Amino acid sequence: DFMSRPKDGYTILQQTDGLISAGAAKQIKATVGGDIVPICFTQATFSQIYIRPDEKRFTDWKSFVAYAKKNPGKVTVANIGVAKSMEVILMGSLAEAAGIKVKEISYDKPAERYAALLGGHADVLFEQPGDVRKFLEAKQMKAILTILDEAPSAFAGVASLKEAGIKIPILLRTRGFWVHKDVPKDRKEFLRKACKAAFDTKDYQAFNKSKYMHLARSYYDGADADKLVRDMLAIYASAK
């Protein structure tokens, strides 16, 4: 058990944002951001909404919203099936802000979600760009909304939240490293420096680029990491 291990910095927890959502939902005994604190996040990415390029009913976010408003509850979204997850919360917030009603279809496995869109079993897909990069490059999927206030240059032609006139709290997919709060300060600082040094290597930068993790800010440590955790905890805690 992570919490019962010696607080010497030799036991490190690697986790996604699932740890933050679980902490906000009180699904774990330890307090995330309190008992467990971040050393660094080496990946942080945004989500998008995707359609098939040959979709005729809608071709961008504006026409998608118009279609969904004319067909309330009929548009299907392939999404993850975990309640209170980042994907479910963001999709719900998007639908509410856009004034539309959609039907979310839950798939536990990513491949099932992708197949649902490609096979026409779902109208749109909620996902992160790095996970569907091969489909984007093969022109089998097309992004219609970037869930950031400002879209990265690589998706300059895709509507951002600001361009869509949507204001919602933004959650990111994160992957990072955590330690117990009682690990000595000097060891936390040593780990932080080691994390940054590894992140800055050519190999890791190439890896992140291959996953589209270079399109927006991907590294957080120190006070920035603490703030990111606090902000995300607050968003998860306030989600309906």
Q: What is the pLDDT of residue 84?
A: 86
The CB density around residue 215, as the number of other CB atoms within 10 Å, is 20
The closest of 188, 141, 147 to 44, measured between CA atoms, is 147
Q: What is the mean pLDDT of the chain?
A: 96
pLDDT tens for 153-212 read 999 999 999 999 999 999 999 999 999 999 999 999 999 999 999 999 999 999 999 999
Examine domains 2-44+172-238 and 48-164 and report if their fold is the same: yes
The closest of 48, 76, 45 to 60, measured between CA atoms, is 48
Say which CATH class 48-164 falls into. alpha beta
pLDDT tier for residue 83 given thresholds of 50, 70 and 90:
confident
pLDDT tens for 85-101 read 999 999 999 999 999 99
Q: Going by C-beta distance under 8 Å and a sequence separation of 6 or more, which residues neighbour residue 63?
A: 57
Q: What is the pLDDT of residue 1?
A: 84
Percent of the chain with pLDDT over 90: 97
CATH superfamily of 2-44+172-238: Bordetella uptake gene, domain 1 (3.40.190.150)
